[in-house]
Amino acid sequence: MSSRALSDGVRWLIAGACIVTFFATTQGLRSMWEVAEPATHMSRFIVCDALPLALVLIVLAAYLPAWRLPRLMRVAVLLPLIHLGMLLVVAQLWSLLRADMTTLPPASETDLSPQVYQAAIAAPSFQLLGLAFAAIIVIAIAIKRRHGEWAHAMVMLTLATLLLIGLWLPLVSLMWNGSSDSLTMWRQLQAVAADPSRFIAVVVVPPALVAIAITAVAFRAPSLFARVRRGGAIAAKVALVLVVSIQLNTADRAAVLYLQHSYIILFAIVLAILALANLILITWLRSWLAYRKLQTLTSHTGVVTSDDGEVAVFEIASWLRGPRIVTRAFSVTTNRGIVPVTGAAVLAHVPATTTGLAIGETAQILAPGHHVVIATRSETASGHPFRAMDVTNVLLVAPVGTRPYTFADIALVAWRPAVAYLAILIAVALPGLAIVLT
């Protein structure tokens, strides 16, 4: 299957995300070098060129090997993990440069050079990142409606938060009270840097609450979410155009304030990547545990019977989450008789045809006539007046020959939210790029 199995828009988006990643990395490292050059003894190649070169090689290594699925899909799934590795390397590099910058003389109050405001940036700690991730897990578990959906809820919640913070931060920076006088401007920037709690609260809390509401509606009232989804997408695009146009003409104070707190966006990016990584890990782990259950519990082979057509499908619910399995009650005819199946988990490989499905469309997993394996737990019913009966509880159903998920199956689950992450990343990078370009 070639990359043309993906739509042209998706292919261009993935390619554009690679270009934006390279450009943002190059510009960011050059800005860091300009800040630290007077004080550091590190070479320009190590600071400015080594990581972009490594980035190109890693992306090529992700794209070039042959695969049964579109190779750009593999790039889309791996690129967020590449971003996480890059951020860790850049954070370590920045810490080394900041240690060298302690030898710089103090800047004057009217100096608004990068040495002043970038040296004041202090990224949140790993402890705060862990607390935020734990809070997201708790919120996702509270939001999810069906068993096993919490990992998908985490992805939607973090992606929605990232987009909203990326659009909201430029507006807050613009609206924050201040004067155009350079001395007053610098003192206000110093005040925000000295006690950023109020500014951070204004930037983070409203988008987080809106993202929680959006995710709750998507999982608790999917029909309502389906009706408003298109309008929400249009509103986000209009807001992005508005924010970029504002950034192209914004005042120095707002631009500096935005750049000084861009680490909030980086923090949200890391949380979104961790949510995607969690989805990948949980998807593989659940398939392995389900396969183990098939091997250890009592299992029977049979044929699906139903009067109403297909009984289990993969449904594409949104770009912000992976496909979900939708089932209804059916029966399996075995050599021991007919076994009713209600509410059992389903282990099935994700069909490659799902790459061409639109939101709301489904791909068949199980239908009448399919041969399946059922994992059961038999219990003895007590209290019967004549004899004991075996009551069979079906815990898991899988097509015959199903194995634990490979990376291809995981990619088919994770590629849509990964592409959504790349699209959101481009959107939240545009305001910062607009400042750099102007």
Query: What would the pLDDT profile of 150-197 be if each residue is shown by its tens digit?
Result: 999 999 999 999 999 998 888 888 777 555 555 455 555 555 655 677
Listed range (27-31, 52-56, 186-190, 219-223) with the worst mean pLDDT = 186-190
Give residue 75's pLDDT band: very low, low, confident or very high (50, 70, 90).
very high
Give residue 94's pLDDT band: very low, low, confident or very high (50, 70, 90).
confident
- What mean pLDDT comes out for the span 135-139? 94
Helix axes 407-437, 263-296, angle to 10 degrees: 180
Q: From the centroid of its chain, how far is CA 203?
A: 20
Q: How is residue 8 written in tokens?
A: 């042209």
Burial annotation 325-347 (CB, 10 A radius, 16+ → b, else e): bbbeebbbebeeeebebeebbbb
Signed CA dihedral, 194, 196, 197, 199: sign only: positive
Predicted confidence (pLDDT) at residue 25 exceeds the cutoff of 80 = yes
Predicted confidence (pLDDT) at residue 239 exceeds the cutoff of 70 = yes
d(CA 406, CA 352): 13
- Residue 340, φ and ψ in degrees, nearest 5: -75, 145
Q: How far is CA 97 from CA 6, 38, 41, 51, 54, in A?
A: 42, 11, 9, 15, 20
Predicted confidence (pLDDT) at residue 119 exceeds the cutoff of 50 = no
d(CA 159, CA 222): 18
Q: Give the model's pLDDT for residue 390.
A: 45
Q: What is the pTM of this model?
A: 0.85
Rounded to the nearest integer, the mean pLDDT of the chain is 81
Q: Give the model's pLDDT for residue 285.
A: 93
Residues 6+ away with beta carbon under 8 Å from 164 = 206, 207, 208, 210, 211
Q: Give the model's pLDDT for residue 102.
A: 65
pLDDT in tens, 57-68: 999 999 999 888
- What mean pLDDT comes out for the span 71-95? 90
d(CA 15, CA 17): 5
Cβ neighbours of 169 (radius 10 Å)? 26
List the Cα angle 203/206/212 in 5-degree steps.
125
Cβ neighbours of 118 (radius 10 Å)? 21
Listed range (44-58, 151-165, 253-267, 284-298) with the worst mean pLDDT = 253-267
Listed range (84-88, 97-101, 139-143, 216-220) with the worst mean pLDDT = 97-101
For the chain, how big is the Rg over CA atoms in Å?
26
- Which of the pair, 411 or 335, is modelled with greater confidence? 411
Listed range (13-27, 136-150, 182-196, 294-308) with the worst mean pLDDT = 182-196
d(CA 90, CA 88): 6
